[in-house]
Every structure is written in C-alpha cells, then in structure tokens.
Structure 1
Amino acid sequence: MARELSDERGPGVALDEVARRAGVGNATLYRHFPTRSDLIVAVYADEVEALCEKGAALIDGGSAVEALFAWLDDFVVHVATKRALAFAGTENSDERRTALFDQWHRSMRAIAQELLVRAQRSGDANADLTVDDLLALTNATAIAATGAEEARRLLRIMRHGFAGDQGSAGFAG
C-alpha cells in the first residue's frame, strides 16, 4: 500500500493517508514506522535486497571490470530512481537510521569493495581508488541525473574518463 502511494504521489505522501489506505490507525503506523524515513526504507526492502543479491552473484563471474560496472549500473539506476530511499538514510543523524538501512549500507559497501578489489587485482581499476571514492562518485552521479538513462550515461563517462585517448580500457590510470 505504501509503495503504491509513493509511486502515485511521491515520497512526500502524507503518512495519515498511508495509514488510511492500509486500513490501520495513525498510531499503529507511527508505532511501526516512527519517521517517514523508516517507512521508505521498509517500502523498498525487497528492491535493495535484490540489488545486493545481484552484486553477490557477480563477484565470482566474468570479467572483473565488467562485473563491477554491471553492478554499478544497477546501483546507479536504483539510486537515481529511488531518490527518497537514497536520502532516507542521510537526512537524519546516524542514530535515526534503521537497523535495516544500516545492514543494506554495509552489504552494498561490502559488495562494492569485493568487486573493486577484484578489478584492481586484474589491473582494470586504479589501485588508489577506494570503495568510498567509488560509491561517492556513483551516488553523486545518480543524484545529479534526471533519471535512469542519464545516470547510466554519466556512469559511462565516469568509467571511461574525460580524455579521448583513454578509449574503453576500463578505468585504470
């Protein structure tokens, strides 16, 4: 119910309306989801779990750099299309983040780290690049984009760099 309303009206939908549509009282809704961020995290739980599962499946398969960018492509589209979820964990202090949000953050960071290290070991990623750098740049790309396709285009630019002589040989430098 909450996802339908979020999809229809955006993440700013009134929590009272969510409760009404779900057939529960406001107190019940607020007891389970004390903040809008808590509700947003719960609404998109299955999507974040699927993103983590995709990343885990890529860790041991194919080209290291292709695996990294296949996951980053899914990640950048997810963040670009689920801005409310991206901001849900960052609008409040760390104490206000839900345990589920923190678990996802750790899982996504761990997957990105494994994929990055694999690409670095194969020589396809700059050895100085950190997972924090990678996720910060990818998040910034997703948030700056106006939608999924622009986020993907910006990710391709990030992958190949700005210089014309680098071609498509990964992003080693």
Structure 2
Amino acid sequence: MRADAQKNYQRLLSVAREVFQESGAEASLRDIARKAGVGLGTLYRHFPTREALLEALLRDGFEALAAQADALLQAESADAALVAWLQQIIAFTHSQRGVIAPMMHAIEDEASALHGSCVRLRASGAALLMRAQRQGSARPDLDGDALFDLIAALAWLREQPSHAARADRIFALVTGAVLNQEAARGD
C-alpha cells in the first residue's frame, strides 16, 4: 500500500473508532470520511462496507478474546473460566457501542466481513461451555449459539442507560442459570 493510502487507512480507522464510540456503530460513514479529511470514495476503497470497517476496528479485540478463551481452557476451574470469559466479552462488546446488532447479523451472514471473527468468538465460548459441561458444572442443554445469544443480550442490557445499574445483577442471574446450581453456589 502506498504511503498516502496507508496514512488514509490509519486515519479512517482512528476517526471511525472515535465516531463509533461517540455515536455508535450506525454512525454516518460520510461523517467519518469528512472528519478524516478524505472523500467518501476513499473510505469505500479501503472499507467497501460498514461491516468491513467494523471488522478492521474490532479484529484485534476479537483475536484477543479468542486467545483468552483458548488460554482459559487450561484453567483448573472450568466454570470460573467460563464466567471470567463471559465478563470479558460482555465488557468488550459494551465498550464498542452499537456492535451487538452487527455482530448478531454477521454470525448468520457468511458474506459479512465480520462473519469469520464472530464465528471464531462463538466457537471459543462454545469450547469453554463444553469444558464446563464435561466437568458437570454447566447445564448440558446449552450450546454455543445459545451462549452467544446470552452474551448479546447481556451486552445490549449494559448499553441501555436505564438498565445499566441492574446489569451486574442480571449477569449473576444468567450465569447462575448457565451453571449447575452446585457450581453457581460454589459447592
């Protein structure tokens, strides 16, 4: 990539990160291009879709979450590892304002630029869940799809100012429902 093109790419990512944090993932791409000092065509040459821009912004965080899940597969306590990862992914998605809807869409849309990353996250969570199930500390009737849906619901709840105060309590209730009662109580 030419130096000026690389500079535009980095500037677009930087501005998009700021704009998305301020206005959410549905912010105007035209505004992002304007604030980055480039034309809309330049934005679309680098990022042909909103999902492509989101994927570029979220890639490092998604990879870190997947790597963390892989590392947690070695933790002694499978239920504690699952809960720790759930806290991390919910905090991450909450910090990326407005990404829940695009992530939920992307998981089902193989053509989405976010699809591969979202599938990897779901698989990482599913692996942690299956390990907890094998140890008898998680409900056997859940799968990775349901876990991903619960993550999305909990992250969405944190995004709602009127419900944010209850988010920790709801998280505890949901993890108590995911884990077997003995594991949830610490027996």
* TM over 0.5, shorter chain: yes
Q: Which residue of 1 aligns with 2:131?
A: 118
Alpha-carbon distance, 1:149 to partner: 6.2
Q: CA RMSD in A?
A: 2.5
Are residue 132 (structure 1) and residue 148 (structure 2) matched? no
Matched, 1:60 2:74: yes
State the distance in 2 between where 1:18 and 1:128 align: 44
Contact kept, 8 Å, 2:104 with 2:152, in 1: the verdict is no
Tell me which of 75, 78, 92 is aligned to 1:78.
Answer: 92
Shift of 1:120: 0.9
**1:158: which partner in 2?**
174
The structure showing larger relative contact order (alpha-carbon pairs under 8 Å, at least 6 residues apart) is 1
Match in the other structure for 2:30: 16
What is the aligned-residue identity percentage? 37
Question: What is the Cα deviation at residue 128 of structure 1?
Answer: 2.0
The alignment partner of 1:84 has SS state of coil
Task: Tell me how far 1:157 sits from its aligned partner.
Answer: 0.8
Residue 119 (structure 1) shift: 0.5
1:97 corresponding residue in structure 2: 112
* Structure 1 unaligned residues grouped into runs of 5+: none
Q: Does 1:169 align with 2:175?
A: no
The match for 2:59 is 45
Amino acid at match of 2:173: I
Q: How many residues align?
A: 164
Scaled by the length of structure 2, the TM-score of the pair is: 0.74
1:36 corresponds to 2:66? no
- AA aligned to 1:133 is A
Do the aligned partners of 1:120 and 1:127 also contact (CA within 8 Å) in 2?
A: yes
Please say if residues 64 and 119 of structure 1, whose CA atoms lie closer than 8 Å, have aligned partners that are also in contact: yes
